[in-house]
């Protein structure tokens, strides 16, 4: 009996075991997934929790219910991987063997990596994150109490999970305070380590103009060195005071990755960006946010990547070459407030462009244009996530990005 061992039952790990359980013969393959939490969180929902748009039962479900029958679920923490012995050591002393290992433990916010963020006495008082369930819930109460002052939305460094989420938060905060009649009493500042609102020029121009329209001040190239009381201080000694700080701390991979000698400085596993095979190992893969591929750390990337990975893995385990090549495909709805959103669709080589998605000329979704249909698409994605994506059911969208329906904007657009 051959053993496939998957570490992590988040988005990518759950899709991997559910897809491969259907495709690997039960008489020949055992599949085990290791996950410390008995709850699975719909992370895109964290964005909506602070504004009261989602409730807890909409973003949390039991892990066991989401993992396919025939997959062994082990609730435990990983101590380290021992590649030379093809086994994984758990913190409770158990040892799990594998023929193939898939690391899908994602990334987590690490506020402890920024001096003063945790030890200044303001954490969850004046400094909040929304990349965790607890943080998003606590922030909801803080926003409800906030009646004016400077609110700073801040990104510590890249890469982060869902890189457009901080922008979305800024747009939704603008809308939230307008509806409460407080917008003229709130100064919104967006502090980013990037030179602008986004990494690619066409999208950056569009998103930057939306920030300007909403009178959200952008502090670009801001690399935070420390938090000093109620001020962010950058390495070039710029200072941004705040009354309420909504921060995205440094995102890092799991500590066991470092202990196992498998990661880079952020505990991300270096992989071949087309096949996810770990560098220097022929029986270890890393999928989802846990690897270092140069594209967004987003649920859509995990979905498209796992589609390619599943086909490749079946061939690879049978001794055939991996012919699938992941192209870095990502698409993200970007909430812009007022019941509208944008959609961006891109890959390793092509930046987000305007147009229609997924059908040329028809859509229904609008690329790089804020529209109500995109907002409803984002809300509908939650149902898709629980009922189609996680169970590993086929989705009628190609894993690879298509140029159909897209166009390069002219100078007048």
Q: What is the mean pLDDT of residues 228-242?
A: 97
Reading the block at residue 2, the tokens are 């051959």
What is the pLDDT at residue 147? 95
CATH fold label, 2-108+252-317: FAD/NAD(P)-binding domain (3.50.50)
Predicted TM-score (pTM) of the model is: 0.96
Task: Return phi, psi of residue 338, to 5°.
Answer: 65, 25
Judge whether residue 201 has pLDDT over 90.
no
pLDDT band at 411 (very low <50, low <70, confident <90, very high): low
pLDDT band at 57 (very low <50, low <70, confident <90, very high): confident
Comparing 2-108+252-317 with 110-250, is the CATH topology the same?
yes
The SS3 call for residue 204 is: helix
Residue of 287, 282, 318 whose CA lies nearest to 100? 282
Long-range interactions of 64-70: CB distance < 8 A, separation 24+: 64/38, 66/9, 66/14, 66/40, 66/386, 66/390, 66/391, 67/9, 67/14, 67/17, 67/18, 67/33, 68/17, 68/18, 68/21, 68/22, 68/391, 68/392, 69/21, 70/21, 70/26, 70/31
The SS3 call for residue 349 is: coil
Query: What CATH class does 110-250 carry?
Result: alpha beta
Q: What is the mean pLDDT of the chain?
A: 95
Tens of pLDDT along 237-289? Answer: 999 999 999 999 999 999 999 999 999 999 999 999 999 999 999 999 999 99
Tens of pLDDT along 151-175? Answer: 999 999 999 999 999 999 999 999 9
Reading the block at residue 38, the tokens are 């008995």
Q: Which residue has the tokens 């996810």?
A: 276
Distance from C-alpha of 19 to C-alpha of 27, rounded to nearest angstrom: 17
Judge whether residue 31 has pLDDT over 90.
yes
Judge whether residue 107 has pLDDT over 70.
yes
| Domain boundaries of the chain, sorted by first residue | 2-108+252-317, 110-250, 330-389
Judge whether residue 413 has pLDDT over 70.
no
């Amino acid at each position: 009996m051959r053993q496939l061992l998957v570490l992590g039952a988040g988005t990518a790990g759950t899709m991997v075991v559910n897809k491969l359980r259907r495709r690997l013969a039960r008489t020949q393959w055992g599949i085990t997934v290791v996950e410390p939490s008995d709850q699975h969180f719909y992370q895109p929902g964290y964005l909506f929790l602070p504004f009261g748009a989602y409730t807890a039962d909409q973003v949390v479900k039991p892990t066991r219910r989401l993992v396919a029958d025939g997959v062994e679920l082990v609730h435990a923490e990983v101590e380290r991987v021992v590649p030379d012995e093809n086994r994984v050591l758990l913190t409770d002393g158990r040892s799990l063997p594998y023929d193939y290992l898939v690391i899908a433990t994602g990334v987590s916010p690490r506020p402890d990596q920024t001096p003063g963020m945790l030890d200044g006495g303001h954490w969850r008082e004046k400094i909040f994150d929304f990349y965790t369930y607890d943080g998003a819930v606590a922030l909801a109460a803080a926003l409800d109490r906030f009646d004016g002052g400077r609110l700073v939305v801040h990104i510590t460094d890249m890469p982060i999970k869902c890189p457009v989420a901080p922008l979305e938060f800024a747009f939704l905060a603008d809308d939230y305070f307008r509806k409460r009649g407080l917008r003229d009493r709130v100064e919104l500042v967006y502090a980013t380590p990037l030179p602008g609102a986004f990494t690619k020029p066409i999208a950056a121009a569009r998103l930057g103009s939306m920030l300007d329209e909403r009178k959200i001040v952008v502090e670009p190239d801001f690399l935070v060195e420390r938090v000093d009381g109620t001020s962010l201080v950058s390495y070039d000694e710029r200072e941004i005071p705040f009354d309420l700080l909504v921060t995205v701390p440094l995102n890092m991979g799991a500590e066991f990755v470092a202990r196992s000698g498998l990661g880079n400085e952020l505990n991300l596993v270096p992989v071949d960006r087309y096949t996810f095979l770990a560098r220097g190992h022929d029986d270890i893969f890393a999928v989802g946010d846990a690897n270092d591929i140069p594209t967004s750390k987003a649920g859509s990337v995990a979905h498209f990547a796992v589609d390619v990975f599943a086909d490749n893995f079946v061939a690879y385990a049978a001794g055939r070459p991996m012919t699938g090549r992941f192209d870095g495909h990502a698409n993200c709805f970007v909430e812009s407030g007022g019941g509208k959103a944008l959609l961006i669709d891109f890959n390793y080589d092509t930046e987000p462009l305007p147009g229609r998605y997924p059908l040329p000329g028809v859509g229904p979704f609008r690329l790089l244009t804020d529209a109500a249909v995109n907002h409803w698409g984002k809300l509908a994605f939650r149902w898709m996530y629980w009922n189609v994506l996680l169970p590993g059911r086929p989705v009628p969208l190609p894993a690879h990005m298509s140029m159909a329906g897209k166009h390069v904007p002219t100078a007048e657009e």
